Structure 1
Amino acid sequence: MVERFDVAVVGLGGLGSAAAWELARRGHSVVGLERFGLGHSRGASHDTSRILRHSYHTPAYVRLTQEAYADWARLEAESGQALVTRTGGLDLFPADPAIPSIDYTAAMDEVGIGYDALDADQVTARWPALRVPPGTLGLHQEAGSIVPAGRTVGVLHDQARRLGADLRADSPVLGLEDLGDRIRLTTATGALEVSGVVVTADAWVNDVVGHLGLHVPVEVTLEQVTYYAVADPAALADLPLWIWMDDPSYYGFPPYDPFGGPAGTIKAAQDCGGPTVAPDDRTSEPDPAMEALLTDHLRRMLPAVGRPLSSVRCQYTLTPDRDFVLAPVPGHERVVVGLGAAHAFKFVPTFGRVLADLVTTGETTSDVSAFGLDRPALTQPDYAPHWLV
């Protein structure tokens, strides 16, 4: 027996779950296939929190953040769940930073996003808990917000199922064949035939699209976030989200609870600081050296922070240019790939909408022209990777 659906979504982390919800809400029959358990912690969509912000290094990304805020509001309205917590966001550029501040100010200026440019003294005066060195430029945006990671994935699963989507755990794709008028997928429990496929398998993307002869050059790194005690939560109560825009780059959150209760810890991490790993053969044990490096930075920048309490591992799946993939497979346009390059959770409902557009009509109103599979970063073997954004 061959089961038939309109669309299959392969990979049910944040991006795939949003695509399944968006397709189901449009009336399509949807099967979602997850190789592990639903809501698992082996990928990049678990744990408590992610950053939602307008600040980005190109006007195209900034415009896409405007859509993201609108799409999060739509998800909140349709699910009845409050998901966006506004805290303000602060990008901190030291003197001579590895990440140019002009890219951010120029991009936000072109799109018309307002921000406050603050020197080091103004940063400390506004947020007394922060200590930054002389010469630091702070870019503050009021709309900076936190969105809950694991909780959002659960909300998307609930909404997709409510609308009729069939979401299946422990269902890796073992085969993918383009039959011209339909796509056949092989799983351990049998065959499926669909009109279109959305591949949001992240670190396992090539296990799926490899059946069509495509290889996407991605590098998987094992990252780590750490939770710290806060002896005096009131001292950090007005702390914004913050990103240290240098090499190494760090980021952190104010006290936050994804379910709206009291929050007595803060979370921080280094961006792109972990080792390259094979996704099926990596540890979940914390790395004391990574924790110590992060703690040293926090001791200088946030002296009110207490001792580290726990560390959690997560994966980054990085394209060489750290840009997204939102595009059909060349020669197999019924198969659409979504890759977030380790900075896409803020765009989760937007990815869902765009991927649903592309797999059903081949077009979308969002500008995703820079995110094709035929760009130099993905086709030139000698392309030099760069991940700081």
Structure 2
Amino acid sequence: MAVDELPAEVDIAVVGAGLMGSAAAWAATRRGHSVALLEQFSLGHDHGSSHGSARIVRRAYADPLYVRMTGRAFALWRELERDSGQPLLRITGGLDHGEPWHTDGIAAALAEAGVPHELLAAEEAQRRWPGMRFEGRVVFHPEAGTVDAARAMDAFVACARRRGASVHPESPVQRVSIAGGRARVETGGGAVTAHRVVAACGAWTADLLAGLVPLPELTVTQQQVFHFPRRDFGADWPTAVHEGAAAHTYNLPGGRDGGPGDGRKLAEYLAPDGEPTAPGDRSGVVSPAARDRVTDYVREWLPGLAPTPFNEATCLYTSTSGADFVLDRTGPVVVCSPCSGHGAKFAPLIGEVAADLADGGQPPDPRFTLAAHSST
């Protein structure tokens, strides 16, 4: 990609070109705004939270708000596919099992929203999907699968650039200041003045906005994911989330990272030994204890996989105390932190929300506001 010249002034400067920042750039350019998209690393880098070829997309939440949001997000994923000409979603259906509070809450919320789903006994689910074992009742809903995160970022950026966005990889933002109701964004290669600045920089949000915006506590941890080979290449398993008495895991088709055998991606949700870290101090070393726990889980619950991981990686989770997103604006600064480990599926919707906020709109729900987080 050719290097764009940094403009002196734009309507919206977006800091961070991961899933959320690139989605915000796409949304803003579709509204006719001039946009500068700034990224401290190369595009598609693996230093943060957006890399990889497979993330879960699904409708299953026990919270009606998030169920509604997933519906809007799915429609926008399809719009991005049309806009980019790239297939990004793989629909497999989704499974949830484990404690009754988990499955019953999801089934109730899906029923309230009119989302098709089934409640199955564990034995029935095991007959339907050989090689998987289940705890308690199982919720299956067909509107679930995976999104290719890396290709989605490419698509967001390409479509935004086609509409006039300037894109600036390897351009770390050194400082954001506010004067006269506008933001000045300074990089090593110059500065840009913006009517609005969208901070979509994940684990780096607190560093960027320190002293500028009263942020809630954002906890950054290093988490790990593993890929396991499949014994049977014939069965196309749904994505699965297990919230059990002693298990808090998710698994999904690994996409390109799963190799030609469609290896399975598996991880714990906020593993207990996830290392608190500053983004620049991330070790990148997988926890042996996490590897052992996940391998033991595969032996017990996923006998259709060989219990030896062939690939493993780390990523950063940025979490709020209540697992809700931070999506709000103060002055010319839009805070875009859809974090807590479940934001990727909402990326195109988060981009729309960021553009709404930049245009003077309100957060999609009061719980996403800075004020709500400061009171928790």
Q: Is the 8 A contact 2:230 2:261 kept in 1?
A: no
Which amino acid in 2 is paired with 1:345?
Answer: A
Which amino acid in 2 is paired with 1:124?
Answer: Q
What is the CA–CA distance in structure 1 between the aligned matches of 2:317 and 2:170, rounded to whole Å? 22
What is the CA–CA distance in structure 2 between the aligned matches of 1:121 and 1:2, rounded to whole Å? 61
Q: How does 1:7-86 map to 2 (within 5 A)?
A: 7-86=12-91
Tell me what 1:339 maps to. Answer: 337
Q: Is the 8 A contact 1:206 1:214 kept in 2?
A: no
What is the CA–CA distance in structure 2 between the aligned matches of 1:169 and 1:369, rounded to whole Å? 34
What is the CA–CA distance in structure 2 between the aligned matches of 1:232 and 1:57, rounded to whole Å? 32
Which amino acid in 2 is paired with 1:251?
Answer: Y
The offset of 1:370, in angstroms, is 2.2
Which amino acid in 2 is paired with 1:106?
Answer: A
More divergent stretch after superposition (279-288 vs 143-152):
279-288
Tell me what 1:250 maps to. Answer: 249
Q: How does 1:208-219 map to 2 (within 5 A)?
A: 208-219=208-219
5+ long unaligned stretches in structure 1: 384-389
Tell me what 1:3 maps to. Answer: 8
Tell me what 2:197 maps to. Answer: 197
**Structure 1 consecutive aligned stretches of length 4 or more whose deviation exceeds 6 Å:** none
Which amino acid in 1 is paired with 2:111?
Answer: D
Tell me what 2:265 maps to. Answer: 267
Question: SS at the partner of 1:36?
Answer: coil
Q: Is the 8 A contact 2:295 2:309 kept in 1?
A: yes
Question: SS at the partner of 1:100?
Answer: helix
User: Which of 365, 369, 378 is matched with 2:366 structurally?
Assistant: 369
Question: SS at the partner of 2:228?
Answer: strand
Tell me what 2:237 maps to. Answer: 239
Structure-2 change in CA distance of 1:213 and 1:125 (3 Å)? closer
Q: Is the 8 A contact 1:173 1:186 kept in 2?
A: yes
Which amino acid in 1 is paired with 2:122?
Answer: A
2:112 matched to 1:93? no
What is the CA–CA distance in structure 1 between the aligned matches of 2:170 and 2:257, rounded to whole Å? 27
Paired residues in the alignment total 366
What is the CA–CA distance in structure 2 between the aligned matches of 1:297 and 1:124, rounded to whole Å? 16
User: TM-score, normalised on structure 1?
Assistant: 0.89
Q: Is the 8 A contact 1:233 1:255 kept in 2?
A: no
User: TM-score, normalised on structure 2?
Assistant: 0.92
2:350 matched to 1:348? no
What is the CA–CA distance in structure 2 between the aligned matches of 1:102 and 1:327, rounded to whole Å? 32
Q: Is the 8 A contact 1:255 1:263 kept in 2?
A: no
The offset of 1:258, in angstroms, is 7.6
Deviations 1:208-245 (A, max 9, x none): 221414233111111111111223312xx221110101
Which amino acid in 1 is paired with 2:368?
Answer: F
Structure-2 change in CA distance of 1:213 and 1:90 (3 Å)? closer
The offset of 1:190, in angstroms, is 2.1
Deviations 1:178-232 (A, max 9, x none): 2133211222222211111111111111122214142331111111111112233
What is the CA–CA distance in structure 2 between the aligned matches of 1:255 and 1:40, rounded to whole Å? 18
Question: SS at the partner of 1:305?
Answer: coil
Tell me what 1:387 maps to. Answer: none
Q: Is the 8 A contact 1:50 1:147 kept in 2?
A: yes
What is the CA–CA distance in structure 2 between the aligned matches of 1:83 and 1:223, rounded to whole Å? 24
User: Which of 92, 108, 111 is matched with 2:113 structurally?
Assistant: 111
- Percent identity between matched residues is 37
2:316 matched to 1:325? no
Q: Is the 8 A contact 1:14 1:153 kept in 2?
A: yes
Q: Is the 8 A contact 1:248 1:271 kept in 2?
A: no
The offset of 1:102, in angstroms, is 3.1
Which amino acid in 2 is paired with 1:379?
Answer: S
Question: SS at the partner of 1:316?
Answer: strand
Q: Is the 8 A contact 1:252 1:266 kept in 2?
A: yes
Tell me what 1:226 maps to. Answer: 226
Which amino acid in 2 is paired with 1:100?
Answer: H
Deviations 1:156-183 (A, max 9, x none): 1111111111111222222222213321
